[in-house]
Amino acid sequence: MAGDNVLLVAVYEKAGWWSGFFGLHTETQYEERLPGYQDQTPQRREDVNGDGRVSILDMLRVARRFDTLVAAKPGSSVNEDINDDGIVNITDLVLVAQYINDPVENNLDAPISPGLVQQWIDMAWAEYDGSIEFQKGITSLENLLMALNSDKIETKTALFANYPNPFNPETWIPYQLAMPTEVVLTIHTTTGRIVRTLPLGHQAAGVYKTPNRAAHWDGKNHLGEPVTSGIYFYTLTAGDFTATRKMLIRK
Protein backbone atom coordinates (compact mmCIF):
# COMPACT_ATOMS: atom_id res chain seq x y z
CA MET A 1 0.00 0.00 0.00
CA ALA A 2 1.42 3.39 -1.02
CA GLY A 3 2.21 6.06 1.54
CA ASP A 4 4.07 6.17 4.85
CA ASN A 5 3.64 3.32 7.32
CA VAL A 6 4.47 3.85 10.99
CA LEU A 7 6.34 1.24 13.02
CA LEU A 8 5.21 1.30 16.66
CA VAL A 9 7.97 0.32 19.09
CA ALA A 10 7.41 -0.73 22.70
CA VAL A 11 10.36 0.25 24.94
CA TYR A 12 11.07 -1.48 28.25
CA GLU A 13 13.40 0.79 30.25
CA LYS A 14 14.11 -1.57 33.15
CA ALA A 15 15.34 -4.45 31.07
CA GLY A 16 17.07 -2.12 28.63
CA TRP A 17 15.62 -3.69 25.52
CA TRP A 18 12.84 -2.96 23.10
CA SER A 19 10.64 -4.87 20.75
CA GLY A 20 8.43 -3.98 17.81
CA PHE A 21 5.77 -5.73 15.81
CA PHE A 22 5.47 -5.07 12.07
CA GLY A 23 4.84 -7.33 9.10
CA LEU A 24 5.87 -6.80 5.45
CA HIS A 25 5.59 -8.97 2.39
CA THR A 26 9.01 -10.35 1.38
CA GLU A 27 8.96 -8.41 -1.95
CA THR A 28 7.98 -5.07 -0.38
CA GLN A 29 10.49 -2.26 -0.91
CA TYR A 30 11.00 -0.03 2.12
CA GLU A 31 13.49 2.22 3.89
CA GLU A 32 14.09 2.88 7.56
CA ARG A 33 14.14 6.48 8.79
CA LEU A 34 13.60 8.42 11.99
CA PRO A 35 10.73 10.91 12.51
CA GLY A 36 11.61 14.30 11.03
CA TYR A 37 14.24 12.74 8.75
CA GLN A 38 15.34 14.84 5.76
CA ASP A 39 17.45 13.59 2.88
CA GLN A 40 20.84 15.28 3.23
CA THR A 41 22.45 14.19 -0.05
CA PRO A 42 25.82 15.94 -0.14
CA GLN A 43 26.65 18.24 -3.04
CA ARG A 44 29.05 16.73 -5.57
CA ARG A 45 32.50 18.29 -5.58
CA GLU A 46 32.15 18.50 -9.36
CA ASP A 47 29.10 20.77 -8.98
CA VAL A 48 31.42 23.75 -8.63
CA ASN A 49 28.81 26.50 -8.86
CA GLY A 50 26.36 24.70 -6.54
CA ASP A 51 23.37 24.79 -8.88
CA GLY A 52 22.47 21.15 -8.26
CA ARG A 53 23.90 19.66 -11.45
CA VAL A 54 27.27 19.10 -13.06
CA SER A 55 27.39 21.01 -16.32
CA ILE A 56 29.64 22.87 -18.72
CA LEU A 57 29.22 25.95 -16.53
CA ASP A 58 31.18 24.11 -13.83
CA MET A 59 33.91 23.31 -16.37
CA LEU A 60 34.14 26.98 -17.27
CA ARG A 61 34.49 27.90 -13.60
CA VAL A 62 37.43 25.51 -13.33
CA ALA A 63 39.02 26.72 -16.60
CA ARG A 64 38.92 30.35 -15.48
CA ARG A 65 41.13 29.44 -12.50
CA PHE A 66 43.73 27.36 -14.34
CA ASP A 67 47.17 27.53 -12.70
CA THR A 68 45.71 28.99 -9.49
CA LEU A 69 47.63 27.81 -6.45
CA VAL A 70 45.42 26.92 -3.52
CA ALA A 71 46.67 27.92 -0.07
CA ALA A 72 46.52 25.01 2.37
CA LYS A 73 44.63 26.81 5.12
CA PRO A 74 42.09 25.06 7.39
CA GLY A 75 38.55 25.95 6.39
CA SER A 76 39.58 27.75 3.18
CA SER A 77 39.04 25.49 0.19
CA VAL A 78 38.67 26.39 -3.45
CA ASN A 79 35.74 24.67 -5.13
CA GLU A 80 37.58 24.45 -8.44
CA ASP A 81 40.39 22.32 -6.95
CA ILE A 82 38.43 19.08 -7.34
CA ASN A 83 41.21 16.66 -6.40
CA ASP A 84 42.63 18.82 -3.57
CA ASP A 85 46.19 18.75 -4.96
CA GLY A 86 46.76 22.44 -4.29
CA ILE A 87 46.43 23.74 -7.86
CA VAL A 88 43.58 24.21 -10.32
CA ASN A 89 44.46 22.68 -13.70
CA ILE A 90 43.27 20.46 -16.56
CA THR A 91 43.01 17.43 -14.25
CA ASP A 92 40.27 19.17 -12.23
CA LEU A 93 38.42 20.05 -15.44
CA VAL A 94 38.54 16.45 -16.67
CA LEU A 95 37.20 15.20 -13.33
CA VAL A 96 34.23 17.53 -13.77
CA ALA A 97 33.76 16.54 -17.41
CA GLN A 98 33.31 12.83 -16.61
CA TYR A 99 29.95 13.61 -14.94
CA ILE A 100 28.46 15.53 -17.85
CA ASN A 101 25.97 13.09 -19.30
CA ASP A 102 24.41 15.11 -22.12
CA PRO A 103 26.84 17.60 -23.68
CA VAL A 104 24.34 18.54 -26.39
CA GLU A 105 21.81 19.73 -23.83
CA ASN A 106 24.48 21.20 -21.59
CA ASN A 107 26.15 23.41 -24.17
CA LEU A 108 23.03 25.45 -24.91
CA ASP A 109 23.50 27.82 -21.98
CA ALA A 110 27.29 28.03 -21.92
CA PRO A 111 29.52 30.56 -23.74
CA ILE A 112 31.90 27.97 -25.14
CA SER A 113 33.64 27.48 -28.49
CA PRO A 114 34.92 24.40 -30.35
CA GLY A 115 38.42 25.88 -30.29
CA LEU A 116 38.38 26.13 -26.50
CA VAL A 117 37.14 22.56 -26.08
CA GLN A 118 39.80 21.28 -28.50
CA GLN A 119 42.41 23.08 -26.43
CA TRP A 120 41.09 21.34 -23.29
CA ILE A 121 41.20 17.97 -25.09
CA ASP A 122 44.83 18.47 -26.15
CA MET A 123 45.76 19.45 -22.59
CA ALA A 124 43.90 16.45 -21.20
CA TRP A 125 45.67 13.97 -23.49
CA ALA A 126 49.01 15.50 -22.50
CA GLU A 127 48.23 14.80 -18.82
CA TYR A 128 46.45 11.46 -19.38
CA ASP A 129 47.36 9.02 -16.59
CA GLY A 130 45.54 5.94 -17.88
CA SER A 131 42.76 6.07 -15.26
CA ILE A 132 39.10 5.35 -16.02
CA GLU A 133 38.12 8.76 -14.59
CA PHE A 134 40.45 10.53 -17.01
CA GLN A 135 39.18 8.46 -19.95
CA LYS A 136 35.55 9.29 -19.09
CA GLY A 137 36.40 12.98 -18.83
CA ILE A 138 38.19 13.06 -22.18
CA THR A 139 35.33 11.16 -23.81
CA SER A 140 32.86 13.74 -22.49
CA LEU A 141 35.02 16.55 -23.87
CA GLU A 142 35.22 14.86 -27.27
CA ASN A 143 31.43 14.32 -27.29
CA LEU A 144 30.99 17.99 -26.45
CA LEU A 145 33.29 18.97 -29.32
CA MET A 146 31.26 16.82 -31.74
CA ALA A 147 28.05 18.45 -30.51
CA LEU A 148 29.47 21.94 -31.05
CA ASN A 149 30.70 20.95 -34.51
CA SER A 150 27.50 19.14 -35.51
CA ASP A 151 26.82 21.72 -38.22
CA LYS A 152 30.23 21.14 -39.88
CA ILE A 153 31.12 17.46 -39.70
CA GLU A 154 34.47 17.56 -41.44
CA THR A 155 37.32 15.53 -40.01
CA LYS A 156 40.72 16.94 -40.87
CA THR A 157 43.91 14.95 -40.71
CA ALA A 158 45.78 16.06 -37.60
CA LEU A 159 48.54 15.03 -35.23
CA PHE A 160 47.96 15.57 -31.48
CA ALA A 161 50.14 15.81 -28.39
CA ASN A 162 51.48 12.50 -27.10
CA TYR A 163 50.46 11.27 -23.67
CA PRO A 164 51.83 11.09 -21.11
CA ASN A 165 54.43 13.76 -21.71
CA PRO A 166 57.05 13.76 -20.20
CA PHE A 167 57.08 9.97 -20.12
CA ASN A 168 59.10 6.92 -19.09
CA PRO A 169 59.35 4.50 -20.74
CA GLU A 170 56.36 4.48 -23.13
CA THR A 171 53.92 6.94 -24.67
CA TRP A 172 50.89 7.03 -26.97
CA ILE A 173 50.61 9.35 -29.98
CA PRO A 174 47.05 10.25 -31.05
CA TYR A 175 46.00 11.44 -34.50
CA GLN A 176 43.04 11.53 -36.85
CA LEU A 177 42.63 10.90 -40.59
CA ALA A 178 40.34 12.65 -43.06
CA MET A 179 40.56 9.78 -45.55
CA PRO A 180 41.96 6.24 -45.81
CA THR A 181 45.72 6.28 -46.32
CA GLU A 182 49.08 4.74 -45.49
CA VAL A 183 50.35 6.02 -42.14
CA VAL A 184 53.95 6.14 -40.91
CA LEU A 185 55.28 7.56 -37.65
CA THR A 186 58.95 8.53 -37.39
CA ILE A 187 60.82 9.23 -34.15
CA HIS A 188 63.95 11.36 -34.46
CA THR A 189 66.37 13.37 -32.35
CA THR A 190 66.78 17.15 -32.24
CA THR A 191 69.51 16.80 -34.87
CA GLY A 192 67.22 14.93 -37.25
CA ARG A 193 68.70 11.45 -36.74
CA ILE A 194 65.98 8.81 -37.09
CA VAL A 195 65.64 6.72 -33.93
CA ARG A 196 62.67 4.55 -34.88
CA THR A 197 60.22 4.21 -37.77
CA LEU A 198 56.77 2.85 -36.97
CA PRO A 199 54.82 1.81 -40.09
CA LEU A 200 51.16 1.86 -39.00
CA GLY A 201 49.86 0.48 -42.29
CA HIS A 202 46.85 1.46 -44.37
CA GLN A 203 44.22 2.91 -42.06
CA ALA A 204 40.62 4.02 -42.48
CA ALA A 205 39.47 7.59 -41.95
CA GLY A 206 38.68 8.28 -38.30
CA VAL A 207 40.00 9.26 -34.89
CA TYR A 208 42.90 7.37 -33.31
CA LYS A 209 43.20 8.75 -29.79
CA THR A 210 42.49 6.03 -27.25
CA PRO A 211 45.34 3.73 -26.10
CA ASN A 212 44.02 0.83 -28.18
CA ARG A 213 43.98 2.95 -31.37
CA ALA A 214 46.71 5.58 -31.01
CA ALA A 215 50.28 4.92 -32.14
CA HIS A 216 52.44 3.46 -29.37
CA TRP A 217 56.15 3.95 -28.82
CA ASP A 218 57.96 1.91 -26.17
CA GLY A 219 60.88 4.34 -25.89
CA LYS A 220 63.29 2.05 -27.79
CA ASN A 221 65.31 2.51 -30.97
CA HIS A 222 65.29 0.26 -34.05
CA LEU A 223 67.71 -2.13 -32.28
CA GLY A 224 65.37 -2.58 -29.33
CA GLU A 225 67.56 -0.52 -27.00
CA PRO A 226 66.03 2.06 -24.62
CA VAL A 227 66.87 5.59 -25.77
CA THR A 228 68.43 8.14 -23.45
CA SER A 229 66.56 10.91 -21.66
CA GLY A 230 65.94 14.10 -23.58
CA ILE A 231 63.83 15.82 -26.21
CA TYR A 232 62.67 13.87 -29.26
CA PHE A 233 60.41 14.70 -32.18
CA TYR A 234 57.75 12.54 -33.82
CA THR A 235 56.54 13.02 -37.39
CA LEU A 236 53.29 11.64 -38.79
CA THR A 237 53.14 11.04 -42.54
CA ALA A 238 49.69 10.23 -43.93
CA GLY A 239 49.43 10.59 -47.70
CA ASP A 240 50.30 14.21 -48.51
CA PHE A 241 49.98 15.22 -44.85
CA THR A 242 53.02 15.67 -42.63
CA ALA A 243 53.20 17.10 -39.12
CA THR A 244 55.79 17.08 -36.35
CA ARG A 245 55.53 17.54 -32.59
CA LYS A 246 57.91 17.44 -29.62
CA MET A 247 58.06 15.04 -26.66
CA LEU A 248 60.29 14.49 -23.65
CA ILE A 249 61.63 11.27 -22.12
CA ARG A 250 62.52 11.76 -18.46
CA LYS A 251 64.21 8.90 -16.58
pLDDT in tens, 11-69: 455 555 555 555 555 666 656 655 555 555 567 788 888 887 887 778 878 888 888 77
Give the model's pLDDT for residue 62.
Answer: 85
Q: What is the arithmetic mean of pLDDT over 153-163? A: 81
Answer whether residue 10 shows pLDDT above 70: no
> Degrees (nearest 5) of the Cα angle 59, 176, 184?
140
The predicted model gives 182-201 an average pLDDT of 96
- Which of 71-75, 172-176, 178-182 shows the lowest per-residue confidence on average (mean pLDDT)? 71-75
Predicted confidence at residue 88, as pLDDT, reads: 86
Residue pair 20/10 in contact by the 8 Å Cβ criterion: yes
- Higher pLDDT residue, 153 or 140? 140
pLDDT > 70? residue 249: yes
Averaged confidence pLDDT in the chain: 78
Architecture of domain 158-249: Sandwich (2.60)
Look at residue 193 and tell me whether its pLDDT is greater than 90: yes
What is the pLDDT, as a whole number, of residue 16? 52
Q: Phi and psi at residue 226, in whole multiples of 5°?
A: -60, 135
pLDDT at 108: 45
Q: What is the pLDDT of residue 116?
A: 82
Bigger pLDDT: 105 vs 162: 162
The tally of CA atoms less than 13 A away on the side-chain side of residue 162 is: 30
Average pLDDT over residues 65-88: 72
Average pLDDT over residues 62-79: 68
Give CA torsion, residues 53, 57, 61, 62, to 10 deg.
70
pTM of the model: 0.49
Predicted confidence at residue 180, as pLDDT, reads 93
E strands, 85-141, are 87-88
| Residues in Cβ contact with 173 at an 8 Å cutoff, skipping those fewer than 6 apart | 159, 160, 162, 185, 214, 215, 216, 217, 234, 236
Distance CA 37, CA 57 (A): 32
- Is residue 233's pLDDT more than 80? yes
Q: Are 43 and 53 in contact (CB under 8 A)?
A: no
- The residues spanned by each domain of the chain are 56-148, 158-249
Per-residue pLDDT band for 107 (boundaries 50, 70, 90) equals very low
Question: Which comes out higher in pLDDT, residue 70 or 234?
Answer: 234
- What pLDDT shows up at residue 194? 97
Q: How confident is the model at residue 199 (pLDDT cuts 50, 70, 90)?
A: very high
